[in-house]
Amino acid sequence: MSPRPEQFHDAFIEESFEAVDAMEAALLRLAQDAGDIEIINTIFRVAHSIKGGASMLGFSALAAFTHTMEALLNELRTRRLPVTAPVCDGLLQSVDVIRAMLAAHREHHEIDPARSNTLQGWFTQLIEGSQGAPLPAQPVAAELVPATAPPPPRLDSIRVAIEKLDELQGKVRDIVACQERLAALVWDPAGAGGEDLRFRHAQLDVCLHELEQIVTRLRMLPVGSVFNRFPRLVRDLSSRLGKKIRLQLSGGQIELDKSVLERISDPLVHLVRNSIDHGIEPPAERLAAGKPAEGLVHLSAFYKGGSIRIAISDDGRGLDSSRLVARARSQGLIDRDEVLTDKQAQELIFEPGFTTAEQATELSGRGVGMDVVNRNIKELGGRVELRSETGKGTTLTIILPLALAVVDGHVVQVGTDTCMVPILNSSRV
């Protein structure tokens, strides 16, 4: 019996989500280096691949949209159409459209054609303009721009590196061999010595422990799989707010369990948005304060003190303790005569209902968020640590127990104490 196309839907959708992530990253690079033809070729190949798969599986709307996108990219790579900021914005919005279409197919929902038709029409006008027709005056409306980081694909499978499977296969072979040796000893009519039996049993115990570690690692994903969602978010929000912001990422190779990554994803989005909205000042304000016009948001992961930490730092305006206290009093969160230390004042941001915004916007001002972030992290057995200096910036650090990560290390004994030094830190001791 020949396979039905429906059997390949899940694999195509999963692979396409990953391909779209790569496309988005390439588009963000293209916005910085419009002259790099290889970046355009990379984006073109992704669009072509998605178009081919969608066409084969009968996803006609997705195939038609990526076909038009592919035609536009061909105009860019042949230099018949210049790479401009509006074009990059439109292509980035097409990433959101493709994600929405993939999600609709995954959930077996109808596709809303309004957004894709608008973009397709604009792309067609650009293509016709490159061939002599007048270019359209305006790009697609900015309110198509997302206010949050794109959600990761919600699939019940994860990709596993082949070396992890090789390691698993090798360990299973070790266990089978050890079990066979044990069986031979148990059933030896000559009655083999107990010492050899105890040795083989200890060997099997070690193998089973190592197997448990390997299987656990199969669920691990690098933190970078979440970090990579943020360049687009920072670009879009900084543009919307009229700010210049550079995002710096580090520590993306550190691994956490897939379920933990999923649970910290939304808190990270909120913290990064807070840094952009509340932390980083507009360029004019930064220049007046003697700072560079471009602000910095640094998202990092690292091991420290027996825990794994994810920090969100910015070089923005920091937290003003006196303003926080005044705001809390006006909202009835503290008594009029209550005196707080700077640390206590700064931690008011974790109080339910507290906000420094004068009015609610799409991004902030409703008094929800930081308390939810704090509660979600506590449910994982972690905590959120705050450090801020007025005029210098703010750092919020999510501290998670090391038990939520798998860490290679050296076991060392100091006196009567036995401890583990993570290999990443072993060069320091």
Out of 25-29, 168-172, 259-263, 347-351, least confident range: 168-172
Query: How far apart (Å, rounded) are the C-alpha atoms in residues 351 and 367?
Result: 9
| pLDDT value of position 139 | 47
Note the pLDDT tens digit of each residue in 186-245: 666 565 556 677 777 777 778 887 887 777 777 788 899 889 889 999 998 998 899 999
- Res 149 pLDDT > 60: no
Kindly report the average pLDDT of the chain as a whole number: 82
Query: How far apart (Å, rounded) are the C-alpha atoms in residues 145 and 152?
Result: 17
Top pLDDT among 371 and 268 is at 268
CB atoms near residue 340 (< 10 Å): 16
Top pLDDT among 18 and 364 is at 18
Cβ 365 vs Cβ 359: under 8 Å: yes
Would you state the structure tokens that stand for residue 129, as one six-digit string? 């303009």
CA dihedral sign, ordered 13, 310, 386, 347: positive
- Res 366 pLDDT > 50: no
Note the pLDDT tens digit of each residue in 122-132: 999 888 876 65
pTM beyond 0.85: no
Query: How far apart (Å, rounded) are the C-alpha atoms in residues 220 and 256?
Result: 5
Cβ 251 vs Cβ 399: under 8 Å: no
CB contact set of 378 (below 8 Å; sequence gap of 6+)? none
Q: Please report which confidence band the pLDDT of residue 399 belongs to, taking 50, 70 and 90 as the band edges.
A: very high
| pLDDT value of position 423 | 61
- Res 156 pLDDT > 70: no
Note the pLDDT tens digit of each residue in 72-100: 999 999 989 999 888 998 999 999 999 99
Which of 177, 172, 176, 161 is CA-nearest to residue 210?
Answer: 172
Query: How far apart (Å, rounded) are the C-alpha atoms in residues 385 and 305?
Result: 14
Average pLDDT over residues 298-321: 92
Partnered with residue 244 across adjacent β-strands are 294
pLDDT above 70: percentage of residues in the chain: 81
pLDDT above 90: percentage of residues in the chain: 35
- Res 426 pLDDT > 50: no
Note the pLDDT tens digit of each residue in 318-359: 999 889 888 888 888 888 888 888 888 888 888 887 776 655
- Res 256 pLDDT > 90: no
| pLDDT value of position 422 | 65
Most confident of 53-67, 336-350, 394-408: 53-67
Most confident of 242-251, 305-314, 349-358, 415-424: 242-251
